[in-house]
A and B are shown apart, each in its own frame.
Chain A
Amino acid sequence: MQDANLQRRLILDIPTGFLLLFFVMPLAALVTLSFWQTENYKIVHEWTLMNYGTLATERAYITFFLRSLVMAIGVSVTLVALSWPIAYFIVRYGGRYRIIFSLLLVIPFLSGEVLRLIALQGMLGPAGLVNGALIRMGAAPLRMIMYSNAASFIAFIYLYLPLVVTTIYLSLINFDFRLAHAASACGANRFRIFTEVVWPLNLSGTIVGFMLAFIPTLSASLVPRFLGGPNGTLYGMSMAQQFGESGTWALGAAMGVVLFLFSAIALAILSYGVDLRRTGFTGLGRQ
């Protein structure tokens, strides 16, 4: 009896303590800091909304934020559109090689993010593989992909494609394709089989994939730093600078809170905006 009690407390208390210490506490610290000020690399313990005022009024921050938002939406939508055919192909035609195909997708993850970005720099830069080849052929280099938002976009796609494909793959592999046969026997053509049965029943998996790309893109700092160029500063990169070079930690904390709230809102819209019973969502168990 004693033992069982102790065991249960260990199982519950250790993760709870861990979450409190390393998840809730830093978040609380971040929120608190965002209502303080920093002056000359020192924190001033004075309650104020000035940081949020700055973020809401200064053009640069508004631009950074909108750029990040548009980038995150564009990247996530593109990734879903790209990943569906890939995942669908693996699930339907991969046969016994399905597991190998899905493992191949993960290979880029075996190296670090910085390394992958440097590799991309080599591909897209002024003397990189693409532009180098163009120059050697006597053509003009593509300025669009040199240190620009387009370069960042390509990098985001490259970074998160495996995540989104894997998520949609996992959704599709658990989808009963005999339902598509049933729809066909009910008179549905290929297009309507997709829109009425396959897509809605994999919607929750697709939303998870979308969010897995959306949230890190919204707060990304490494990609714009390596590939964004002068006009490619994103919100997350600016935030990182507040904690680094500028030493304006309180403003950075406020930016963090803004990002947190926005991601939470996006998640809330997507999960409350759809009726889970109508999306093939199985996370609630059988009802």
Chain B
Amino acid sequence: MSNTSSYIRIDKVSRRYGAFKALDDVSLDISKEEFIAILGPSGSGKSTLLRLIAGLDRPTEGRIHFEGKDVTELAPHKRGIGMVFQEFLLFPHRTVRENLAFPLRMRNEAKAEIEERVEWVAGILSLSTMLDRYPSQLSGGQQQRVALGRGLVARPTLLLLDEPLANLDRELRQEMEIEIRRYQKQLGIPFIYVTHNQEEALSMSDRIAVINNGRLEALGERQAIYDHPQTPFVARFVGKSSKFQGVVQPDGATVRLARHDYEFALPPDKKFNPGDAVEIFVKNERFDISSKQDGGVGIPSTVVDVVLRGPFLEYVLETDRGDTVIAVKPKRNDPIPIRERVLLSWNPADCHIFKDGADDARR
């Protein structure tokens, strides 16, 4: 992405607390009308990055630009952002209407304009009937919508969302995921969505930035992040997968698992030296299960349990070496029975292989 087309530009930003690097040399360009998820485990630095963009904290190094303007030293209230917090943080002493009007009043908008904007945002978020209630009189989902409305009402340059769905129950969360994505497409401003929940990141965003240990681990289209992880961390963190240890055989073209009697051919695009120790990640839905009688190859295992997940079946398998592996398959009317002996394998093109210790070597 070129310098001029990026709407939000985060340029080599670091944040240190004493000797601790909360954020280390992160660069990120965000275009207008983009929904970007910042995904990372807790303590990875993703919230620090969000606070830097919001202006609630200052970077130790690096610059932040909005629409070509350097805002690094600008106070939060001068940045024209909207923000939605995990704990909602609605003003408890103000009604819904006053909460929604707050950002507009802070910008000293005219009374008529404030009323019009509040009506508008209450309309798109279905809050019109509860404008005179206090936040404590609302359900969690309603409070969430008010928080979202407060973030959007004053035409922000961008909306920052800090794990906004973490306090909602599962059903409501899935509903809100669709809603939030719809608002973003409707409003045409970038949404920066911080989460530790990879499912949320995958279901809502256009691009995903994976943060780990203060560093930008990966950045790309969500499909690419999911299907072609570039580092072992991303392979482990995005999607649900199982990890195996293996060794590249002397021919340099096959990998043999360390704990299991299973060999498979290296995909042609993977280059390793004979004798290299490697880590292999296989997504749960990429496993093949064949029955023992068919005489195929694979890791000999036993079906321990079958969990029905709507249109999918989750087979809980125990390998003969005692490891538990979960394999996800489309629902069938005749699932493999519990205690059945099976062989577990995968298409070599579908797994992700990294040199052992690649995570550590990068640090």
Q: Do A and B come from one complex?
A: yes
Hey, which bits of chain A sit against chain B, CB under 8 A?
Answer: 176, 178-179, 181-189, 192, 196-197, 200-201, 277-280, 286-287
- By a CB distance below 8 angstroms, the chain A residues around B92 are 201, 280
Q: A188-B77, A189-B77, A277-B134 are in contact. Are A183 and B93 (CB under 8 A)?
A: no
Q: A184-B76, A186-B150 are in contact. Are A179 and B56 (CB under 8 A)?
A: no
- By a CB distance below 8 angstroms, the chain B residues around A178 are 85, 87, 89
Q: Which stretch of B99-107, B184-192, B227-235, B276-284 is in the interface?
A: B99-107
Of the A-B pairs whose beta carbons lie under 8 Å apart in the complex, a sample of 24, sorted by A's number, is: A176-B89, A178-B85, A179-B89, A179-B91, A181-B56, A182-B83, A182-B91, A184-B55, A184-B56, A184-B75, A185-B82, A186-B83, A186-B102, A186-B103, A186-B106, A186-B150, A187-B106, A187-B107, A187-B154, A189-B106, A196-B102, A197-B91, A278-B94, A287-B136
Contact A187 B83 (CB under 8 A): no
- By a CB distance below 8 angstroms, the chain A residues around B107 are 187
Alpha-carbon distance A66/B295, docked complex (angstroms):
104
Contact A185 B75 (CB under 8 A): no
Q: A182-B83, A286-B136, A287-B137 are in contact. Are A187 and B103 (CB under 8 A)?
A: yes
**B81 CB–A CB distance under 8 Å:** yes
**B22 CB–A CB distance under 8 Å:** no
- By a CB distance below 8 angstroms, the chain A residues around B54 are 185
Q: Which of A185, A188, A277 contacts B93 (CB 8 A)?
A: A277
Alpha-carbon distance A176/B89, docked complex (angstroms):
9
| Distance from B28 Cβ to chain A, minimum over Cβ atoms (Å) | 20
| CB-CB nearest in chain B for A282 | B92
Contact A185 B56 (CB under 8 A): yes
- By a CB distance below 8 angstroms, the chain B residues around A181 are 56, 85, 89
Contact B93 A200 (CB under 8 A): yes
Contact A184 B89 (CB under 8 A): no
Alpha-carbon distance A105/B315, docked complex (angstroms):
64
Alpha-carbon distance A178/B92, docked complex (angstroms):
12
Alpha-carbon distance A189/B108, docked complex (angstroms):
12
- By a CB distance below 8 angstroms, the chain B residues around A197 are 91
Q: A185-B81, A287-B137 are in contact. Are A278 and B106 (CB under 8 A)?
A: no
18 other A-B residue contacts (CB within 8 Å) besides A184-B76, A186-B77, A188-B77: A178-B85, A182-B83, A182-B89, A182-B91, A183-B102, A183-B106, A184-B75, A185-B81, A185-B82, A186-B106, A186-B154, A187-B154, A192-B106, A197-B91, A201-B92, A280-B92, A280-B93, A287-B137
